[in-house]
């Protein structure tokens, strides 16, 4: 078997970078989301509009920022605004995509980034929503990036920090959220999933090179929807890796980490 010339983090970033159409607006944080959007801007979508929660609107990122308030998030930006302005853009329907992660994810794409265990007496307490609930509630499409394990992918979710499709079809609308919004893709170190079905449940779209459908099933704590034919995720190209390693993240701030 040929040795891989890329790592899991690089594969996840490249798979995410290919999603965006030129000219769309994307709300990002640091880490994998930022690397994916930077790569997309340099290779696939030069007119992508990047939005940072702290207020940087449409910067031309010179290097990987270390936080959403890093000076790089304002570099040659069209606007330097505020958190309230960034959130208002989202509420007005001006944000096409947002990136999120979570400690737990269920079959409808609901996310927990608040606690493990009881809310009042938790085993683990996480930072909480930040802007995650706001963006996922109003952005048109939510992309979730996460390591893949049955501990994370579970229907025994302890707290819903961020709404996915809640209980299934029409439940977002019944809760008062904008029609047509919700989870779009999930990218992990094993596979790509989507919600492109009438049940609004997580469905397997492709498995990464060297990964089997059984590998994904074993690491998912609920039943995935699986078609008869599952594609293989396209591995990173030479151009993607060259730009990712030399221009987007030359100091290996993100791609030097393990997907865990």
Catalytic residues: 53
Q: Say if residues 111 and 162 touch (Cβ distance below 8 Å).
A: yes
- Give 252's Cβ-side CA count (13 Å radius): 5
Measured CA angle at 255 (ends 252, 259), to 5 deg: 140
Residues in the chain: 260
CA distance 34 to 152: 22
Q: Is 85 helix (H, G, I), strand (E, B) or coil?
A: helix
Contacts of 125 (CB under 8 A, 6+ apart): 114, 115
Residue 175 vs residues 50, 137, 165, 168, 202: alpha-carbon distances, Å = 29, 10, 10, 12, 20
CA distance 201 to 195: 5
CA distance 223 to 211: 18
Q: Say if residues 25 and 202 touch (Cβ distance below 8 Å).
A: no
DSSP letter (8 states) at residue 183: E
């Amino acid at each position: 078997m040929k040795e891989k010339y890329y790592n899991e983090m690089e594969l996840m970033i490249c798979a995410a970078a290919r999603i965006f159409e030129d000219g769309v607006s994307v709300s990002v944080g640091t880490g994998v989301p930022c690397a994916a959007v930077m790569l997309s801007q340099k290779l696939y979508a030069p007119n992508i509009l990047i939005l940072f929660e702290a207020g940087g609107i449409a910067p031309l990122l010179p290097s990987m920022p270390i936080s959403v308030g890093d000076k790089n998030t304002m570099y040659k930006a069209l606007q330097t605004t505020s958190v309230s302005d960034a959130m208002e853009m989202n509420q007005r329907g001006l944000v096409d995509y947002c990136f999120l992660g979570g400690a737990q994810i269920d079959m409808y794409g609901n996310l927990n980034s608040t606690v493990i265990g009881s809310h009042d007496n938790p085993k683990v307490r996480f930072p909480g929503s930040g802007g995650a609930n706001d963006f996922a509630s109003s952005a048109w499409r939510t992309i979730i990036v996460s390591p893949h394990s049955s501990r994370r992918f579970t229907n025994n979710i302890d707290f819903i920090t961020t709404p996915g499709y809640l209980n299934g079809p029409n439940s977002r609308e019944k809760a008062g959220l904008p029609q047509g919004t919700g989870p779009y893709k999930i990218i992990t170190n094993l596979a790509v999933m989507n919600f492109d079905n009438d049940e609004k449940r997580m469905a397997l779209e492709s498995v990464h090179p060297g990964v089997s459908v059984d590998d994904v099933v074993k690491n998912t704590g609920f039943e995935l929807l699986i078609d008869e034919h599952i594609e293989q995720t396209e591995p990173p190209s030479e151009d993607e890796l060259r730009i990712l390693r030399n221009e987007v993240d030359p100091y290996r701030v993100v791609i030097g980490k393990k997907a865990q």
